[in-house]
Amino acid sequence: MTDPHLPVDPRELEQAFSLFNLASEQLAATYAGLQDQVVSLTRELAIANGELNRQFLEKEALSQRLAALLAALPAGVLVVDESERVIEANVAAQAMLGARLIGLPWVVAQACALRPTVLAGEWETIQPETRRLALSTSPLLGATGRILLFHDITQAHALQTELARHQRLSAMGEVAARLAHQLRTPLATALLYASQLSRPQLAEADRVRFSDKVVARLKHLEHLIQDMLLFVRGEAVGRDPIVVADMLADLQQVLEPQMLERGLVFVVEPGAATARVLASRDALTGALVNLLENAMQNCPPGAHISLSSELESEQVLLRVKDTGPGIEPVMLERLFEPFFTTRLDGTGLGLAIVRSVAQAHGGEVQVQSTLGLGSLFTLCLPCIKVE
């Protein structure tokens, strides 16, 4: 231990001061460097803040422009979050679906404002006036949820319907001469038989026979006129949810006695038991009856005829299959033409009506046939979900 009473060596003191000065200079240089860094960082931070502020102002202006554009859009726009609750709605959407949308679950707002049509993706408004809307959806980028976009296609749908009606009327105009012949022949026959009824010497048995022939010809005329009206009208009347299995069961009860009377084996296979379609029950049943009656008339005794249903993707496939003689390939191209028939007593409108009904319900009809093996007609219709 150093004795404090001993004299201090000047050289040691000088060395200590020298070290102290060196450390002080180093600290001063370091402090000056830190000050330069602070100035540089402050300048960089100011530049960054200015850039961020500029970007913020640009994004705010963009947001305002987008909000103005969204408000001015004629299409309705809804935004739903991950819980399917409406969180945004533009002016057009509120005008189409009602003002009180924000905060409602979309399924509730949809049930209150819209009803489905026979076409997938198209809806009709319930109030205040009936408008037809096309709905498309897309995911919400950068967040959970989705965007619902509604387009008002009321006028386009009306024009399309009117165009289809004019096309059907045009088709009828092209075959007016053939139609006049078809009407004139049974009418002339009925008049001929009716003229015999006025003969006083006519036997009672002949009177009954002529009366039956008159009634048969008049029924043929009535059937022809009814088919014409169905073809011209074309549009499906009514929008009822129909359980496919129930409809097929009803058709089996109606047509099975006729099948047995002709010696045919009739099988019904309701594969899509729970499937439902939104359609006119009368129009759809009439189309299937037309297909089944065609099969009955073309099949010999002992042949098999089946009526089945199948659910494929978002469609219900209603199939009428027979083991009859089949259809000539050259006839397949004209099969659905109005007034085209190969039967002497046929009106030529049955299959044209089937196609018209299918199209009115947003579907189509297909046919496959092989000579000697039979034919298969498939009615493809959009299905509705079972809640």
Q: In the CATH hierarchy, which fold is given to the domain comprising 74-152?
A: Beta-Lactamase (3.30.450)
User: What is the pLDDT at residue 348?
Assistant: 64
**Section 49-76 average pLDDT:** 70
The CATH architecture to which 235-387 belongs is: 2-Layer Sandwich (3.30)
Distance set, CA 205 to CA 5, 208, 209 (Å): 165, 5, 6
Task: Categorize the per-residue pLDDT at 304 as very low, low, confident or very high, splitting at 50, 70 and 90.
Answer: very high
Task: Categorize the per-residue pLDDT at 28 as very low, low, confident or very high, splitting at 50, 70 and 90.
Answer: confident
pLDDT at 305 over 90: yes
**Section 108-120 average pLDDT:** 81
Task: Categorize the per-residue pLDDT at 179 as very low, low, confident or very high, splitting at 50, 70 and 90.
Answer: low
Hey, where are the domains in the chain? 21-72, 74-152, 235-387
117 near 39, Cβ under 8 Å? no
In degrees, rounded to 5, the angle at the alpha carbon of residue 130 between the alpha carbons of residues 355 and 110 is: 95
**Section 232-242 average pLDDT:** 62
Residue of 77, 97, 98, 99 whose CA lies nearest to 88 = 77
Most confident range (mean pLDDT) of 62-66, 96-100, 211-215 is 211-215
pLDDT at 182 over 60: no
Weakest-pLDDT range from 47-56, 220-229, 328-337, 348-357 = 220-229
Most confident range (mean pLDDT) of 34-43, 70-79, 333-342 is 34-43
Residue of 383, 202, 219, 355 whose CA lies nearest to 291 = 355
User: What is the pLDDT at residue 267?
Assistant: 92
User: What is the pLDDT at residue 236?
Assistant: 47
Mean pLDDT of the residues in the chain = 79
240 near 247, Cβ under 8 Å? no
**Section 174-183 average pLDDT:** 59
CATH topology match: 74-152 vs 235-387: no
User: What is the pLDDT at residue 317?
Assistant: 92
| Residue type, position 76, single letter | G
In degrees, rounded to 5, the angle at the alpha carbon of residue 274 between the alpha carbons of residues 271 and 280 is: 100
| Residue type, position 163, single letter | L
The label of the residue with tokens 């012949």 reads 181
Weakest-pLDDT range from 242-251, 308-317, 339-348, 358-367 = 339-348
User: What is the pLDDT at residue 68?
Assistant: 61
Task: Categorize the per-residue pLDDT at 387 as very low, low, confident or very high, splitting at 50, 70 and 90.
Answer: very low
pLDDT tens per residue, range 121-158: 788 888 767 888 888 888 877 667 888 888 888 888 88
d(CA 384, CA 312): 12
- Give percent of the chain above pLDDT 90: 9
User: What is the pLDDT at residue 185?
Assistant: 63
- DSSP, residue by residue, 3-57: -TTSPPPHHHHHHHHHHHHHHHHHHHHHHHHHHHHHHHHHHHHHHHHHHHHHHHH
**Section 218-225 average pLDDT:** 72
